[in-house]
Structure 1
Amino acid sequence: MLSRAFALSALCICAGAAVAQQQISPEAFLDRAEGKTFTFRQYQGNAYVGTEQFLRRDLSVWATSTGRCTYGTITVRGPQVCFLYDDFPDPENCWLPFEYNGDLVVMAPTGEVQRVTKITERPISCEGAPVS
C-alpha cells in the first residue's frame, strides 16, 4: 500500500509540476461518484481510458475504449477505492483519489494517473450495460 507522502510525490512527478493537491477519502470519492458517470483520461497525454457508471457505492459498470462493458464490485481498502471486474479478476485494481490542480484524479500503486474529464448522470451506452 502506498504511503500518503509517496503518493503525493509520485503525483507531482507524474504531472510534471508541484501544484496544489489534496488526497480525498474513498468515501468522499464515492459520495461524488454514486449515481454518476465519469469519463477517465490519462493525466499525461490525455488519451481516453474509459467511462465508468457508478450504479451504487459497491457496484459500477466500466466501458472500455472499445465499447465493451463489464460490471465492477467496489470496495474500500484503507485510503484506496478498489474495483474487481467480472472480466478482469485482478484484486489489486485500486486507486488513490485526489483533488489535483482543480481536477479529480486517481492514482494506481503503479504510479499511473488518470483524470476525470467529464461527470454526467447519463447511463453508459454499450453492449451489456444495465437498463436501470
Structure 2
Amino acid sequence: MRLILTLALLASPLAAQDIVAPSDVLERLRGTTLAYDADGVVVGVERFREDDTVTVQHLDGSCLDGEVYVSGDELCFRYEDEAEGEEHCWWSVEIDGDLYMRLADLDRSMTLRTQRVPDRPFQCRDPNMV
C-alpha cells in the first residue's frame, strides 16, 4: 500500500522532487509559524509549538487548536472541533527549497505550498459572532 501511495505522490506535478520524512518535517516546523497557499492564494496560517500542539487561523479570522503527529509516512493533524478519530494527514515534498504538503487522500487532490512567516499574535475571532 505504501508503494501505491508513494507512486501516487510521485505521479503528481511534484514528481522528481525530494520526499521529506514526516518526522523531519515536524522537527523543522516546531516553534515556527507557516502560511499555506494554494495556487498563490493564502488559505490559512498555522503556529507549531514545541509540544506538538498547533493553532490554525482561517481566512475568516477564526482559530482552532489541535495537535500534530507522525503516523507512518504521513504528518497528521487533529483539531478540537473534529469527531474522535478524524484527522488530516499529508505527505511532504521539497521543491527548490520550498516545502509542499499534499493531502494523503487519493480521493481528494490538494497540494499546499508552505511559507514561514514572522511569529505574531493571532487575532482570533469567534466564528459565531457577527
Q: Give the total of aligned pairs.
A: 119
Residue 74 of structure 1 aligns to which amino acid in structure 2?
V
Q: How far apart are 1:57 and its partner, in Å?
A: 5.0
**Which residue in the other structure is 1:38 paired with?**
34
Residue 93 (1) aligns with residue 95 (2): no
Contact 1:81 1:95 in 2 (8 A): yes
Q: TM-score, normalised by structure 1?
A: 0.79
Distance change >3 Å, CA 30–CA 57, structure 1 → 2: farther
- Picking from 74, 77, 87, the partner of 1:80 is 74
Alignment RMSD, CA only?
Answer: 2.1
**Which residue in the other structure is 2:45 paired with?**
51
**Which residue in the other structure is 1:115 paired with?**
113
Q: Which runs of 5+ in 2 are unaligned?
A: 126-130
Secondary structure, aligned partner of 1:106: strand
Distance change >3 Å, CA 99–CA 124, structure 1 → 2: farther
**Which residue in the other structure is 1:22 paired with?**
18
Q: Give identity over the alignment, percent.
A: 26
**Which residue in the other structure is 2:122 paired with?**
125
Secondary structure, aligned partner of 1:3: helix
Contact 2:76 2:90 in 1 (8 A): yes
Q: How far apart are 1:127 and its partner, in Å?
A: 2.0
